[in-house]
Structure 1
Amino acid sequence: MAHGEKRGYDKRARKWRYRGRYKLPDGKWGSVSRDDNGQPFYTERAAEQYAHGLEVDVRRKQFINPRDGRTTVGAWAETWLPSIEVAPLTEKEYRLRLKNQILPQWGGVAIGELSPTAIAAWEKKLRGTLSKNYADAVMSTFRTMMDDAVAEKLRGDNPVSARKSGRRGKYKPKPKDEKAIATPRQVLLIARNALEMRGLNEYAIVLTSAYTGLRIGELAGVHRDQLTLKDTERGARLHSVQQSQYVGGVFTEIDNKYDSGRGLILPPFLAVLLQQLLDSRPGSEWVFTAPKGGRLLRGGDWYAETWKPIVAGRAPRGVVRGARARTGIRPVLGVEGLTPHGLRHSQKVWLDEGNHPKVAVEARMGHELPGVEGTYSHVTLSMELAIAAHLQRLWEESLRVVVDRREFGPYPPFEAPRRKRSPKRLPNSI
């Protein structure tokens, strides 16, 4: 039975301290010397009552051992990470968020001592220095980790609030989605810029991404034998079954995002274009390659040196300090800030404008319809062929020249290449 015991004299408070003793679920005796607020027990009755409450939790199978709450966030992270089952890239992002944001602040704090108010203050500071999407991702990771800590009975509640029970603080309107999308004509102009800068491969990547909705990583994982370009009245098809990504520093093929492997009917013009691309590189295993024919990689250099100029333009340049001359690229107006993923979003808008069945549109995007609609709706061949015919019409319309509309802006201002300084050489030691 729970009871209190005298432990020692607190010289500062000039009082005796007590601890509560209670039976653990395994029949052994446990002890507790502080309450939920971290205050010591200064009377035998206070210690006994608290210990009695713990025994009640044991009988109701709601017991959380106060000692388990002493586990630090850092120690729990080491246990938690190997237990989650997510995609390799998602696990990599979890580790980076923990390493760069969560553990520097909370790694040495015991889970039982995490304060919702302190975490809310830290979140406010975090959102003042990071982008909204990254701050949301960090808090989501922290919240998930604490959900599992509650399930493991390291504490009774999750201190990382989801803020779903009610709004607190100053009203903030929901930000509008300002993601840039492109019309078929603008996609054509971007593709032509890509053709001028990097040739047929880059031209085909832009058009294939826009007219199939595939992500760049999924395009990088398409093999030659996954193309069926001969139309046998069922449409030419591209089969996307994996994506190429760097996992642990190794170029790896993994499942598509959300396991969304699918076969897509291609509009006729795109089937012809991809056949031309294959014929230009008969020995290549992959459909889309790097400039020199190797594995396709899209990193920060490509975004800065290729994607940005084909959308935002670049100034013409003569021979400067030994660098070769280059032609200018005019920016495509109306798509400022467009990302490669924006091509995928653009196709979704085109299909919605065409009033195609929602189930067929979501299937082409690699999504699943939730609820009853997703259970009872199915994609038919006629739906897919109708989408391909609609995309073909959009392509043909984009080829029409519109003289009365400005499509290209002026060249961006020229910036001379910066000269790299050679490192200073230290004098030879004598």
Structure 2
Amino acid sequence: MGQIHQHVHTEWRGGTCRVKWWSGEYLDNGRKRYESKGGFTDETSAYEHGQNKLYEIRHGTHVKNRDGATLMTDWLDDWLAAMDHRPLTERTYRSAIETHIRPYFAKRNASVADIDVLAYRAFKKHLHTKLKPTSAGNVMMVFGMVLDDAVPRLIKVSPVERTRRRGKFVKKAKERKRDMTPEAVEQLARNARTIFGESGYAFIWTMAMTGMRPGELFGLTRQYSFPLWPTADPRPDPEEYERHEEDLERYGVGPDLMPALRVERQIQYVDSRLQFLPPKYDSHRTLVIPPFLAELLQGLLASHDRDWVFPAIMGGSLAAVNFDYTYWRQIADGAAERSGPLTRGARPEIHEVPSFKGKRLYLLRHGHKAWLDEDGHSKFAVESRMGHEVPGVEGVYSSVTVPMERAIMKTLQERWEGLQERLTSKET
């Protein structure tokens, strides 16, 4: 005979005992909804299991039977539908799921509850046989978020391993970077000029002198560049009226004004077409530039009628080409003499820049920050210029003042002038 203890009911069926417990919910007809589990060989074990389930229900850690049986593929559908990120982030997450996570668990017909620590490790091991460590780590990051969000409805705890470390400590490899010198930047700029003209020369020096991200430079248009900005600012956000008025008093063309660029957007491929997006982390910012760069940009914009400040060889956006492959690798690594339609006739040999050979374009941005740090500028001014959030009290109370900006302009200009003096002295 079965026994009822409050909301737990045990009963024998054949040679095994089954336990039922109240889930804490009611059916549409008003009756209590019960869950159950069978296969026990003694009534005491069945009863204790039911009591444990009631304890979990009271403390909010219970996973319902029907939820625990949710297939991983179904949960991935729900997780993707609930994403609320920027387009590029969503594209990255979706690619990791559709390319790696879903096929692996769909093949195994796994439920979310099936993914314990061992299953998690097995998937991680599988990825590392297919991908490079960085790519595998990115997929595991997405997988970890998917599992974390399944708690507590589908699983009690996440099997993601983050804090525990087994085996000997292995120091994370750090990218080797060499100090960025003005001479190296000048050689990069001259190489870029050989490949895509004055646009290339100005592009390299603008990145080195502003620390702008590649997508921000690719998407920079006339109205946000010196000498047109801020008078040509389309003012897309009427709530920033006060900022617009201050910009007109602070930046522009004139003896008392500072030349500057406005980082208002970036350009990236979304759904197979180029689109303007807010800058990374919504890091809208104004970047003062040294006088030599202001003169360089003014001359560049006067030399062409494109909307892009830095047009590609054929006049379009640099974002529309594979910049790293088509331009950057030759700029940094060098290239043999050649001729053809894309080289605008005969093109001389391009000499490698040793400190950037095999390195990323992004290191120009890193080098800019190093220059600012070397010159002893305010940490808040430096981080703000880089588009970073400054945490804590410093981020709340500090602001970038005119003297800070003028100091940045001065030291950057001095780097340029020092370079010119050294180049002149070599020539003589």
Structure 1 residue 109 displacement after superposition: 1.3
* Structure 2 letter corresponding to 1:138: V
Show CA shifts across 1:12-65 (max 9, x none): xxxx2333211112133323326xxxxx42333322221221122222333221
d(CA) in 1 for partners of 2:60, 2:354: 65
Q: Could you tell me whether the CA contact under 8 Å between 2:216 and 2:266 is conserved in 1?
A: yes
- The 5-angstrom pairing of residues 71-110 of structure 1 reads 71-107=70-106, 108-110=109-111
Task: Name the count of aligned residue pairs.
Answer: 385
Distance 1:77 1:327 in 2: 53
Identical aligned residues as a percent: 37
Secondary structure of the residue that 2:293 maps to in structure 1? helix
Which residue in 1 is equivalent to 2:404? 383
> CA separation in 2, counterparts of 1:221 and 1:311?
22
Residue equivalent to 2:385: 364
How far apart, in 1, do the equivalents of 2:43 and 2:159 lie? 31
Task: Tell me the residue number matched to 1:205.
Answer: 203
Q: CA deviation at 1:74?
A: 1.3
Deviation at 1:133, TM superposition (A): 2.5
Amino acid at match of 1:44: E
The aligned runs of 1:165-180 (5 Å cut-off) are 166-179=164-177
- Which stretch of structure 1 is more off in the superposition, 132-141 or 344-353? 132-141
> Structure 2 length as normaliser, TM-score?
0.84
Instruction: Indicate if the aligned counterparts of 2:226 and 2:297 stay in contact, CA closer than 8 A.
Output: no
CA distance in 2, matches of 1:313, 1:263: 33
Asked whether the 8 Å contact 2:147–2:160 carries over to 1, the reply is yes
Secondary structure of 1:25's partner? Answer: strand
* Structure 1 CA distance for aligned equivalents of residues 178 and 72 of structure 2: 39
Q: CA RMSD in A?
A: 2.3
Shift of 1:115: 1.6
Partner of 2:123: 122
Report if the CA contact (8 A) 2:196-2:312 is conserved.
no
Work out the CA distance in 1 between the residues paired with 2:113 and 2:36: 14
Which shows bigger deviation, 351-360 or 395-404?
395-404
Number of the residue aligned with 1:160:
160
**Residues 23 and 35, structure 2, Cα contact 8 Å, conserved in 1:** no
Alignment-derived partner of residue 151 in structure 2: 150
Distance (Å, rounded) in 2 between the aligned partners of 1:150 and 1:208: 47
Larger CA deviation: 371-380 vs 239-248: 371-380
Distance 1:125 1:247 in 2: 30
Q: What is the alpha-carbon distance in structure 1 between the residues aligned to residue 48 and residue 321 of structure 2? A: 61
Q: Which amino acid is the alignment partner of residue 81 of structure 1?
A: L
Distance in 1 separating the partners of 2:89 and 2:172: 26
Q: How far apart, in 1, do the equivalents of 2:310 and 2:126 lie?
A: 43
**Offset, 1:145:** 1.2
> Is 2:238 the counterpart of 1:240?
no
Structure 2 residue matching 1:26: 3-state secondary structure: strand
- In structure 1, the partner of 2:113 is 112
**Structure 2 CA distance, aligned partners of 1:304 and 1:222?**
21
Report if the CA contact (8 A) 1:19-1:31 is conserved: no
Secondary structure of 1:330's aligned partner:
coil
Quick check: 1:115–1:159 contact (8 Å CA) kept in 2? yes
Name the SS of the counterpart of 2:57 in structure 1: helix
Partner of 1:29: 33
Q: Which amino acid aligns with 1:33?
A: K
Structure 1 CA distance, aligned partners of 2:339 and 2:303?
A: 30
Equivalence for 1:294: 316
Contact 2:190 2:201 in 1 (8 A): yes
**Correspondence list, 1:282-361, <5 A:** 282=305, 284-297=306-319, 299-300=321-322, 302-317=323-338, 325-361=346-382
SS state at 1:339 partner = coil
Are residue 184 (structure 1) and residue 182 (structure 2) matched? yes
1:3 maps onto 2:1 in alignment: no
Give matches, 1:126-141, under 5 Å: 126-141=127-142
TM-score normalized by structure 1? 0.84
Task: Map Cα deviations across residues 210-243 of structure 1 (whole Å, 9 max, x no partner).
Answer: 1111111111222211124324423101011011
Q: Which sits farther off after the overlay, 325-334 or 25-34?
A: 25-34
TM-aligned CA deviation for residue 260 of structure 1: 0.2
- How far off its partner does 1:97 sit? 0.6
Give the Cα–Cα distance (whole angstroms) in 2 for the partners of residues 127 and 397 of structure 1.
48
Moved over 3 A (4+): 323-326, 400-405
Task: Measure the CA separation in 2 of the matches of 1:58 and 1:332.
Answer: 65
**1:266 and 2:264 matched:** no
**What's the CA shift for 1:402?**
6.0
Contact kept, 8 Å, 2:211 with 2:364, in 1: the verdict is yes
Q: Is the 8 A contact 2:219 2:319 kept in 1?
A: no
- Amino acid of the residue matched to residue 263 of structure 1? T
From the two aligned structures, give the one with the greater helix fraction: 2
* CA distance in structure 1 between the partners assigned to 2:381 and 2:48 by the alignment: 63
For structure 1, the residue ranges without an aligned partner over 5 or more in a row are 9-15, 35-39, 406-430
Flag the 1:350–1:109 CA change in 2: closer, same or farther, 3 A.
same
Q: Using the alignment, how far apart are the partners of 1:20 and 1:342 within structure 2? A: 63
Give SS of 1:30's match. strand
Aligned residue for 1:210, secondary structure, equals helix
